[in-house]
Amino acid sequence: MQARESDETTLRTKPNADRRNGDPVVVILDITMPRLDGLSADAVSVDLRQMHALKTGRLIEAAVVCGALLGGLHASALRPYRAFAAELGVLFQIVDDILDVVGSDEQLGKTPGKDRQAGKVTYVSRFGLDRARQLADEALARAESRLAGLPGDTAGLRAVAGYIAGREH
């Protein structure tokens, strides 16, 4: 089941703004998030990943892309960096879902269990705690494998991925 246009939250740049002062404009954020209400369990599994790649992943992507551009990377070479960032966003959200179940007030700085109380579909509610942990490990492995193909020193990006995977708050 596809989300209807009226059910989407969209943040985009101006549709015809592809040049500024004669130079191409790099779109850093382009988010369209599907609503999950009323979808089948299988559709939710697919859309849950897509939503987190688009939500948290796109925010992380903006930081990664800005860093790459400031480091002198040409806009045409951003695709693998975007793929890494999307995976990192999914990893962040899976870990966040896990922490909402297993974390404490002191550890998180907020009340745990809010997602369950609100009836939100999360990786833990959809797959269970053990499988969510496995999915986090798989997302970390995919993020790290995306780094393997990138030029230059990616130790900093690898450290960020490791931090997100192991965070406790």
Amino acid at 140: L
Domain residue spans of the chain: 5-166
Crossing angle for the helix pair 155-166 and 129-148, nearest 10 degrees?
Answer: 180
Residue 55, classified by CB atoms within 10 Å of its CB into exposed (0-12), middle (13-18) or buried (19+), is middle
CB 9 within 8 A of CB 31: yes
Query: According to the model, what pLDDT value does residue 107 have?
Result: 83
DSSP 8-state code for residue 151: S
Mean per-residue pLDDT, 62-91: 90
Q: How confident is the model at residue 13 (pLDDT cuts 50, 70, 90)?
A: very low
Partnered with residue 31 across adjacent β-strands are 11
Q: What is the pLDDT of residues 82-94, one digit of tens each?
A: 999 989 999 999 9
Q: Which CATH number fits domain 5-166: 3.40.50.20, 1.10.600.10, 3.20.20.450, 1.20.120.80?
A: 1.10.600.10
Q: What is the CA radius of gyration of the chain?
A: 17
Query: According to the model, what pLDDT value does residue 16 have?
Result: 42
